[in-house]
């Protein structure tokens, strides 16, 4: 079975490519390298001991994407390509809507033209907006609090409409909580551009000496230690969930949606401490005001995925920190 991976040079897409190759799938990677490096593909090929067909293509480029579908048979698409920085999306909404929404429309049209109607889509827990309570189930009301989140929400709605209009489509909406971790080889991992927005890569760069200290955003939340609580999920568990979703789609057409999380939350201070344990150092931090737009707690009820996909996260906090540290300490400057 051949899977087209859009955004396959990126953090999650590269781990998906590796896991698929390890399980004997064929993959084709499409990425415009706007937020990634071709070296990630080379390392996936090296780890899998198999060549990885790679096309440097923007998914909005219909002719180029059409050409990719002509060069190799494709059975299904895992769609990771997208811009994902929440703050940036507030300042550049049109760029986000064009890249994420227009890109997905072109992809769906080209898929249709080539008779490919199976799609696993990278959605996000951001589609739950500011949740009224935790844990979050898939039936919670959906909303968006920034253009990035709105782009995910629109794409979900678009896919629902498509499946209603053309019932032969098979679509899985996978709502990720907070992906973290890296392949245990330490050869591939998350390599954000500039100063990281997200907590774990920030901590990792403090640990490796690239940044002086972590700012803990908010210490007066109604949580066990006053800092924000999130559901950090190991990227390898996450990509295994995608393969289970693909198997589910093989059983019949329709649209399904799943939370991919661990079902438990850790606070910012717990994360800093766990990372310090993994790296064998004390991570310097300072207490800072809340970051606007942050919820106190966001963690999943992941029981639907367990029930219907037979999937659950098996890697814990210490595995995650250990694997991030191996990646970061072996590659202090990422892929550069
Ligand atoms: P990433 O930036 O590392 O990977 C995305 C990849 O898509 C990059 O390699 C980028 O170059 C590529 N890309 C972007 N626009 C493209 C376009 N128009 N054409 C071709 N390639 C394009 O991000 P990631 O963390 O691997 O995220 C993958 C997906 O998962 C994204 O859609 C993101 O929104 C979603 N997601 C991520 C998180 C997270 O915290 N990492 C959480 C929830 C959802
Ligand atoms: C985690 C916790 C911060 C940085 C974001 C997106 C979400 C999804 C995942 C894509 C929070 C605190 C952070 C720092 C800190 N992405 N923090 N100091 O905000 O839960 O989710 O990534 O879909 O849409 O919003 O993740 O890693 O930024 O923050 O104290 O330097 O760490 O306040 O409590 P978040 P995060």
How many angstroms separate the alpha carbon of residue 72 from the centre of ligand 2?
A: 38
Which of 92-95's residues contact partners 24+ apart within 8 Å by CB, and which partners? 92/147, 93/147
Q: What is the pLDDT of residue 186?
A: 98
Which letter does DSSP use for residue 110 in this model?
H
Ligand 2 atom 4: the closest Cα is on which residue?
199
pLDDT tens-digit series, residues 64-79? 999 999 999 999 999 9
- Asked, for residue 246, whether it belongs to a domain, the answer is yes
Q: What is the pLDDT of residue 41?
A: 98
Residue 135: which CATH number?
A: 3.40.50.720
Q: How many folded domains does the chain comprise?
A: 1
Among 116, 114, 105, 10, which residue's Cα sits nearest to residue 61?
A: 105
> If you average pLDDT over residues 301-323, what whole number do you get?
98
Question: Ligand 1 in contact with 128 (CB < 6 A)?
Answer: no
Element housing 308 (H / E): helix 303-309
pLDDT tens-digit series, residues 246-283? 999 999 999 999 999 999 999 999 999 999 999 999 99
- Asked, for residue 264, whether it belongs to a domain, the answer is yes
Structural domain for 194, as ranges: 2-330
> If you average pLDDT over residues 304-310, what whole number do you get?
98
- Asked, for residue 229, whether it belongs to a domain, the answer is yes
Q: Which ligand is nearest to the CA of 200?
A: 2
Residue 333 confidence class, pLDDT cut points 50, 70, 90: very high
- Asked, for residue 137, whether it belongs to a domain, the answer is yes
pTM value is 0.99
How many angstroms separate the alpha carbon of residue 209 from the centre of ligand 2?
A: 21
> If you average pLDDT over residues 4-11, what whole number do you get?
99
Among 68, 69, 15, which residue's Cα sits nearest to residue 41?
A: 15
pLDDT tens-digit series, residues 189-220? 999 999 999 999 999 999 999 999 999 999 99
- Asked, for residue 326, whether it belongs to a domain, the answer is yes
From 128, 148, 232, 258, the catalytic residue: 148
- The string of DSSP codes covering 55-83 is EE--TT-HHHHHHHHHHS---EEEE--S-
Residue 87 confidence class, pLDDT cut points 50, 70, 90: very high
- Asked, for residue 335, whether it belongs to a domain, the answer is no
Q: What is the pLDDT of residue 129?
A: 96
Q: What is the pLDDT of residue 64?
A: 98
* Per-residue three-class SS string for 234-259: EHHHHHHHHHHHHHHHHCCCEEEEEE
- Cβ pair 319, 181 in contact under 8 A: yes
How many angstroms separate the alpha carbon of residue 63 from the centre of ligand 2?
A: 37
Q: Which ligand is nearest to the CA of 230?
A: 2
Q: What is the pLDDT of residue 182?
A: 99
| Token reading at 182 | 């890296």
- Asked, for residue 49, whether it belongs to a domain, the answer is yes
Ligand 1 atom 8: the closest Cα is on which residue?
10
> If you average pLDDT over residues 99-109, what whole number do you get?
99
The per-residue pLDDT of the chain, averaged, comes to: 98
Q: What is the pLDDT of residue 226?
A: 98
- Asked, for residue 336, whether it belongs to a domain, the answer is no
């Amino acid at each position: 079975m051949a899977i087209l991976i859009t955004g396959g040079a990126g953090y999650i897409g590269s781990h998906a490519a590796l896991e698929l190759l390890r399980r004997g799938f064929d993959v084709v990677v499409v990425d415009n390298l706007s937020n990634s490096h071709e070296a990630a593909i080379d390392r996936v090929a090296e780890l899998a001991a198999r060549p990885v067909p790679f096309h440097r293509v923007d998914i909005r480029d219909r002719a180029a994407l059409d050409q990719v579908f002509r060069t190799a048979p494709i059975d299904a698409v895992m769609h990771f390509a997208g811009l994902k920085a929440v703050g940036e999306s507030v300042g550049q909404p049109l760029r986000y809507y064009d890249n994420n929404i227009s890109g997905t429309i072109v992809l769906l049209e080209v898929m249709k033209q080539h008779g490919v109607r199976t799609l696993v889509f990278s959605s996000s827990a951001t589609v739950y907006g500011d949740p009224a309570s935790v844990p979050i189930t898939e039936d919670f009301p959906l909303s968006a609090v920034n253009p990035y989140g709105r782009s995910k929400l629109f794409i979900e709605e678009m896919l629902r409409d498509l499946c209603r209009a053309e019932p032969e489509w098979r679509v899985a909406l996978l709502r990720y909580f907070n992906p973290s971790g890296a392949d245990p080889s330490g050869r591939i991992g998350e390599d954000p551009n500039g100063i990281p927005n997200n907590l774990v890569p920030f901590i990792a760069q403090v640990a490796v000496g690239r940044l002086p200290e972590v700012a803990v955003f908010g210490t007066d939340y109604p949580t066990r230690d006053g800092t924000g609580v999130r559901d950090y999920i190991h990227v390898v568990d996450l990509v295994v969930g995608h393969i289970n979703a693909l198997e589910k789609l093989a059983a019949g057409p329709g649209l399904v949606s799943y939370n991919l999380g661990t079902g438990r939350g850790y606070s910012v201070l717990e994360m800093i401490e766990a990372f310090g344990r993994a790296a064998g150092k004390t991570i310097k931090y300072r207490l800072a005001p809340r970051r606007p737009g942050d919820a106190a707690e966001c963690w999943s009820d992941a029981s639907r995925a367990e029930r219907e996909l037979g999937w659950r996260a098996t890697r814990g906090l210490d595995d995650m920190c250990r694997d991030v540290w191996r990646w970061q300490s072996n590659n202090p400057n990422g892929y550069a």
